[in-house]
Amino acid sequence: MSGPPPELPAWRWEVPREATAPTEAPRADATAQPGREPGPGPLSGPAVAAPSAAARPEVRHLGDRAPTYAAEPGALPPADPAALGDLTPDTVLEGARYGTYTLRAASLRGDSARFRGEARRDFLLTARFGSGDDALVLVALAGGDRAAPGAAEAAAELCRTVAAAVGRSQERLAEDIRAGRRDALRSGLQRLTDRGYGRLRARAAELGLEEAAYTAGLRGLLLPVDPQCRTRVCFGAGAGGLFRLRSGNWQDLEHAGPPGTGGTGTATGTTRTTGAADTTGPADEPESGFRFRAAVARPGDTLLLCSGGLAEPMREEAALPAELAARWAEPEPPGLAAFLADTQLRLKGYADDRTAAAVWEA
């Protein structure tokens, strides 16, 4: 009768199976043999200090009173196992750099939605259409009313509809921007924006909803990739905002008065593009509610496009634009993590979703 089988050597997850005895690590000063590549050195050496917690972007609140809700996400939104593709992440970050400008964009769930376990209603879309210097970068963002049942779906549908139309017209739009054809740009962008809202109205009727229950505020930004073209084109309708930081001062380019004054004060001029020069005129706000602006950026400018969740505190709370001006006074644009920390600076009474896109001009 044969004896018991030989005992297998014990091993642990952190030790390779074939290693039955510890081996001596190669010395760092060992002489390489002729004809052989020197192997990697031992894993010992001076320890690399981990970044301190203080160096991480800090989320804090402005003002004397702390916001009602916690700063970090709480409950997750409910999920439908048959529609997992419709899940919306809490936060979206995007960034790019072309020619003379740097783009940062973020969309995050508001404190109220995080507390109640509701999905983010704001939507952010960034896309590059075309190639080479003829390419065009589009940033489209939309935000709906917190109480509207179809706000999230409407915001996503509106951004995608507008983006598809811009993509199909990319060559013509890029040519009009370089040539400074302001009237052609305005009419074309208003036409595609109206079509986007028309689709929302038709979809609301299909769902049996009121038009106000299935709509969203839209803001779009067109950025040429061509480094020789500094024209920036903004358009949209509904809730949202467009601001410019120039020489340390904020300008509200859609409302009278500087940010943080609640719309009071001296009206800021609107820069219009006519060929290669800028002229100043009244704000372009037709009765239809469509907003349009084409301007030549100056070195050092920062353009901020945002949904209503950020536009409201920018206009009503002086502490927020002042803090952002101080943070963005550095010559280099912030990284993605720092930009996210900047856009979620919290104030009591403002708990909606926030979506923002900022462009730094070199």
Rounded CA-CA distance 314/305 in Å is 11
Is residue 324 scored above 50 in pLDDT? yes
Q: Which of 67-71, 72-76, 298-302 has the lowest mean pLDDT?
A: 67-71
Comparing 82-86, 99-103, 105-109, the range with the smallest average pLDDT is: 82-86
Report pLDDT digits (tens) over 183-241.
999 999 999 999 999 999 999 999 999 999 999 999 999 999 999 999 999 999 999 99
Tell me which of 16-30, 58-72, 146-160, 204-218 is least confident.
Answer: 16-30
Q: Which residues, other chains included, contact 54 with Cβ-Cβ below 8 Å and sequence gap of 6+?
A: none
Tell me the average pLDDT of the chain: 82
User: Could you tell me which residues come within 8 angstroms of residue 235 by beta carbon, excluding any fewer than 6 positions away?
Assistant: 186, 189, 190, 193, 219, 220, 222, 290, 291, 292, 293
Percent of the chain with pLDDT over 90: 68
pTM of the model as a whole: 0.78
Give the rounded percent of residues in the chain with a pLDDT score beyond 70: 75
Separation of alpha carbons 107 and 307, rounded Å = 9
State mean pLDDT over 330-350. 94
**What is the predicted pLDDT for the residue at 188?**
97
pLDDT at residue 6, as a whole number = 55
CA 284 to chain centre: 25
